[in-house]
Amino acid sequence: MENKQELQSLLDRTAAVCRSLTGSGRQATYIPELATVDPSLFALSAVTLDGAVLSSGDIGARFSMQSMSKVMSLSFALERLGYDEVFSHVGMEPCSEPFNSIMKLEMTSDTPLNPFINSGSIIMAGLLAERLGSGVIDEMLDFASRMTGNKSGLAVNERVYRSESSTADRNRALAYFMHSSGALSFEVEKSLDLYFRLCSIEVGTDDLAVMGATLANAGKNPLTKETIVSVDTSYTVIGIMSVCGLYDESGWFAVKAGVPAKSGVSGGIVCAVPGRMGLAVFSPPLGKGGNSVAGVEAVSRLSKELKLRGI
Ligand code: GLN
């Protein structure tokens, strides 16, 4: 088990160094509400498998999950609908195009490459909305709260949701294109609405690090000791995080940091290191691939110092 004092001091040192990188990169503005976030915020959390939560930096910072919600949605879908049904709608291969690219879909007219790009996640949302009906968002918020161990209960940030939903030309284009090709066989606007709500769930790095630790702990939340997902589901999700977690920078990140992770355009990265810990970092400015510049650096440094590399 990890030495907590050493881990805390490593987080503090990493936060101090990486905070200086918040001037590099640019925060996302295509969702107007994301442009209002203070770009200098930096927070880092680690959760060990014996249930210690350690954080550093702006630990009170709250932000939307964005694409990190795709980890939770996939976990939920696998538990509720099963592996075969989920992977009859999406693949599990990395994507060499940006997360919102329409090109691959048009070239192959096939199912989305994986559930962590927008097209794949919109299909997951449509599938869940159709199977579970109007209560789906409450069920998923409850699942997300249990997976993150958040006692007050996670909720959708309505401002982010409205901002995202009213400026979503690109995601609408993806969804309607998939509907025309038959890849998305569910009601388009319902699929999108659930997708936007899931992206807008508000969290802190402590919540995300517990989510990562739950997967790293073979599906059992190390804080509450509740089994959230099966061992098989945790391995499936971690496998996809390993190869598809940072969009078209997943290969580069695997070489640089070597840990299963998932990023979001709010500037967060959540990591699940099997048998060791969950990690999460938040810093809004993004590099050209849409990943947090300071966040990638922080995870890489922690991976090296703690010898987490395992991909
Ligand atoms: N809500 C964002 C979008 O659909 C999520 C993308 C991301 O985090 N990469 O564009």
| CATH number of the domain where residue 111 is located | 3.40.710.10
Per DSSP, helices labelled H in the chain are 4-19, 69-81, 83-86, 103-108, 118-132, 136-148, 158-166, 169-181, 188-199, 205-216, 231-244, 250-256, 293-306
Residue 279 lies in a domain: yes
Instruction: Identify the pLDDT of residue 111.
Output: 85
pLDDT surpassing 90 at residue 202 = yes
DSSP 149-205: T-TT---B-HHHHHHHHHT-HHHHHHHHHHHHHTS--S-HHHHHHHHHHHHTBEE-H
- One domain for residues 183 and 97: yes
The answer to the question of residue 37 being in a domain is: yes
Give residue 153's domain range.
67-199
Distance 121 CA to ligand 1 centre (A): 10
pLDDT (mean) for 208-230 = 98
Is the domain of 121 the same as that of 186? yes
Q: Does residue 311 fall inside a structural domain?
A: no
The answer to whether residue 310 is domain-embedded is no
111 within a domain of the structure (yes/no): yes
The pLDDT score that the predictor gives to residue 109 is: 56
Query: Do 112 and 181 fall within a single domain?
Result: yes
Mean pLDDT of the chain: 95
The confidence score (pLDDT) of residue 209 equals: 98
Domain boundary at 199, 222, 249, which? 199
- Closest approach atom of ligand 1 to CA 199: 1
94 shares a domain with 41: no
Q: How confident is the model at residue 97 (pLDDT cuts 50, 70, 90)?
A: confident
Instruction: Tell me the whole-structure pTM to 2 decimals.
Output: 0.96
Domain assignment present for 10: yes
Token look-up 């959230």 returns: 228
Q: Is residue 100 part of a domain?
A: yes
Q: Looking at the 3D structure of the chain, how many domains does it have?
A: 2
Q: Tell me the per-residue pLDDT of 38-85, one tens digit each, with 9 for 90 and over.
A: 999 999 999 999 999 999 999 999 999 999 999 999 999 999 999 999
Q: Tell whether ligand 1 has an atom less than 6 A from the beta carbon of residue 265.
A: yes
Q: Are residues 43 and 120 in the same domain?
A: no
190 falls in which pLDDT band (50, 70, 90)?
A: very high
Pocket test for ligand 1, best of 68, 99, 123, 262 (most atoms within 8 A of CB): 99
